Amino acid sequence: MEKELYLFILWQKARFMEKNIINDIKKKFEIFQSYEVTWTPELFASNLAHFYGKKLPKGCKKEKEVGYGPFLLLFVYDNNPSYNKNKHNLNIITAKHKYRQLLGANLVHASDNPEETLENTLFLFGKNLKDIEKEIQQSSPITYNKDIKGVCSWSNIEEALDIAKKIPFTRITPYKRSYLIHTRHADLVRRLLNARSHFKIPGRHKYFIKINKTKFPIYIRKVS
pLDDT tens, residue by residue, 88-122: 999 999 999 999 999 999 999 999 999 999 999 99
* 118 & 161 share domain: no
Q: Which of 53, 192, 183 is nearest to 128 (CA)?
A: 192
Tens-place pLDDT, residues 129-181: 999 999 999 999 999 999 999 998 999 999 999 999 999 999 999 998 999 99
Residue 16 inside a domain? The answer is: yes
Domain count of the fold of the chain = 2
Range of the domain at 208: 157-222
Residues 6+ apart with CB under 8 A from 74: 7, 8, 9, 10, 22, 25, 31, 33, 34
> Do residues 45 and 134 lie in contact, with contact meaning Cβ atoms separated by under 8 Å?
no
Residue 152 inside a domain? The answer is: no
Provide the strand spans (E) within 127-203.
142-144, 170-175, 178-183, 196-201
pTM of the model: 0.92
- Domain limit, last residue, from 144, 165, 193: 144
* 134 & 37 share domain: yes
